[in-house]
Chains A and B, each alone.
Chain A
Amino acid sequence: MNRVFRIIGWEYKIRVRSKVFILTTLLFPVLMVGSGFLSGYLADKEGTETYTIGMVDYSGIGADYLERLETEIKLEDGSSMFNPTHFEQETDALAALVNEEISAFVVIPEGIMDDEVPTYYARNLSNMKIQSGIRGTLSRTVVTKRMIDENINPILVNELSRRVHLDLFEVDKDGEVEKGDKISGFLIPFFFMFLLTMVIFINGQLLLRSVIEERTSRMMEILLSTVTPRQLMAGKILGLCLLAVTQVAFYIVVGLAMGTYFDLPSMPYDSLPIVFAFFLAGFFFYAAFYATMGTLFDSEQEAQQSMGLLSIVAMVPMIGAVYFINNPGAPITKILSFIPPITPFMMILRVTTGEATTFEIISTLGLLILCIYLTIRLAGKIFHTTVLMYGKKLSIKEVWRWIRA
């Protein structure tokens, strides 16, 4: 046992101070916060730009539309977002667009009041802000005109069609009521799921590289003359696990600091121990695979390619995150919770949304622990057989034979 602790200590010490680990650990929150600031900055920047828009009108609502376009949508400094220009002919508007005198133009057809579709022209269609501004203003112009034509007071309609808002409250199992919001319901499960995915991949790669390096540098033989393959594998996985815990602790501290600073939703402290249990179980499950892959291949590239399929499976919860978070009790979400490679992700998501029952937590965790035991046993068998085989291309048939042996 003492030897396993020494390997854990060594693996932890050499990785925690490695440049790769420090950079990936520090850069992640910097990139997250940075990208938040950047998108905010770009959004602000976009809000200061004025667009010259052309209009060709065959319907007679053009003057009203131009006025609305000029007055209804404002920039931050109070000036108009659109600078509208009237063209008599579409060809003139087209020439102005080509000459970059205008950003886009809209053609209002004669029968717009009878659902004839207006057309929009621009050099590129990626600027959603212009499109939604033009479309919204045109809709309001047409709807108002229709109301006036039917002798309905548009101001009264506006007043009467005010939206109803909902105040959101979250009630936990003990009946405690807490004010919440839509973002917290999404952000926290997503944060933890993303954290697990990232920690598995970063530390899994480190583990994979560590095993391959020790094999290719022939350090493995010296180590195996001192410890058993099982002790070596246990020490490596636990060392990397400790590293992952350090990384997660760091992110949670950063997350708490950011949450306090930006007034983001608070952590679900009650469910943290269960989240942590699934977190560790998930990490062990994948770590055993990464360690084994390290013994099967002589190059990191080959090993990574072979891990591809498992990586895709692990990405399923991330890909479907929006659906799973919005529907934590849906049958598909529940079924996926019982598929071991996906269990930790799905259960972290369901625990943090408060949708997992005690039975589901215990049964999925039990199933996951059983699978970890079988995976580590299996990995241990392969590790023991292949760890000192150099330069030999392995076939699936051979690996299967060792597993059955």
Chain B
Amino acid sequence: MIEIQNIHKQYDKVTAVDHVSFSIETGDIFGLLGPNGAGKTTIIRMLMSIIEPDFGTILLNGSPVKEVERKSLGYLPEERGLYPNQKLLETLMYLGGLKGVPKNRLKQDTMDWLERFNLADRAHHKIQELSKGNQQKIQFIMALIQKPDFVILDEPFTGLDPLNQLLLKDIIEEKQKEGVTFIFSTHQMEQVERLCTNICLINNGKVLVKGTLEDVREKHRKDAVEVRFSGDMDEAGLADFMDDPKLNGATLKGVLKKPPRDFLNWLNPKVEIDSFRIDTPSLEQIFIEEVKASS
């Protein structure tokens, strides 16, 4: 379990992270979201012990993050690089060794990963000879090679084609089943909706929204409804149940002021209801709305 408790980071006059707290359960895929410059990278760097918070605590399974073995953390930074002039296998083995993969397993584990990504035949090629997408796979391998318990992925899907995105997603889900906890930072909201169970949205270093994806959606549900019906209907009485009702032929749209059940009880004797749909806001809509409101 990861517990982030009231962390704060200030750079000169800029507050990068402002009293942020959230926790992530073991085996969860957690979405850390926010616009550019929101403070995500600073939080991630503090999680990785690259920088220290001015105050506040980060605990991994109950221990302060600074005391935790670094090999238990895998990291794919957004600003990622490689040694372009060095060979693929050598580079991965160097980083694997540095991250604590035992010597007797190092080569085999590295080759297994390369095979999984169809890169085994390129093992002795220089990294600069690989395509951008393939280089990204190497960086992904770097984050997972030491079999970490916690993995932080900052924009892992950028630059990958749909097939490779799927491959990455499969690996993430497979590792999750093995109990690995993922923190996933991205701007691609559809990926978050597909993968994450919990999210935290931050802006200007502050937490705007946090919780399960379902709860967040529920909280932002505005009860915008669409009713399709048969029969004749006028607008009389509608204002008691709806804001801004729009009646167009056999379709009625609006935002409910009262519980859906009360509205349906009122409507049912008047017309024959063919369909009734409550619009749930997408994560992207929630993101835009929250960020706009906080800016």
Contacts and interface: CB of A to CB of B under 8 A. Distances in A.
A225 B70 contact: yes
Contacts of A225: 48, 50, 70, 73, 75, 77
Contacts of A227: 70, 98
Nearest to B87: A14
A interface, size bucket:
20 to 34
B95 interface: yes
B45 interface: yes
A221 B98 contact: no
B33 interface: no
B100 to A, nearest CB: 8
Interface string A215-258: 01111111111110000000000000000000000000000000
B80 A218 contact: yes
A3 interface: yes
A226 B98 contact: yes
A218 B79 contact: yes
Contacts of B94: 6, 10
Nearest to B99: A226
Nearest to B142: A222
Interface in B69-125: 70, 73, 75, 77, 79-86, 94-95, 97-99
A217 B95 contact: no
B99 A217 contact: no
Nearest to A18: B85
Given A3-B98, A221-B80, A388-B45, A14 B86 contact: yes
Contacts of B99: 226
B45 A222 contact: no
A222 B70 contact: no
Given A6-B94, A6-B98, A227-B98, A222 B48 contact: no
B138 to A, nearest CB: 11
Contact of A219 (B75, B83, B97): B83
A218 B83 CA distance: 10
A226 B72 CA distance: 10
A214 interface: yes
Contacts of B97: 6
Given A14-B86, A226-B95, A226-B99, A221 B79 contact: yes
A22 to B, nearest CB: 14
Contacts of B70: 225-227
Nearest to B51: A388
A390 B84 CA distance: 20
A390 B81 CA distance: 14
A7 interface: yes
B17 to A, nearest CB: 15
15 contacts: A6-B97, A7-B98, A217-B82, A218-B79, A221-B79, A221-B80, A222-B77, A222-B95, A222-B142, A224-B48, A225-B48, A225-B50, A225-B77, A388-B45, A390-B79
Given A222-B142, A224-B50, 6 more contacts: A221-B50, A221-B75, A221-B79, A222-B95, A225-B75, A225-B77
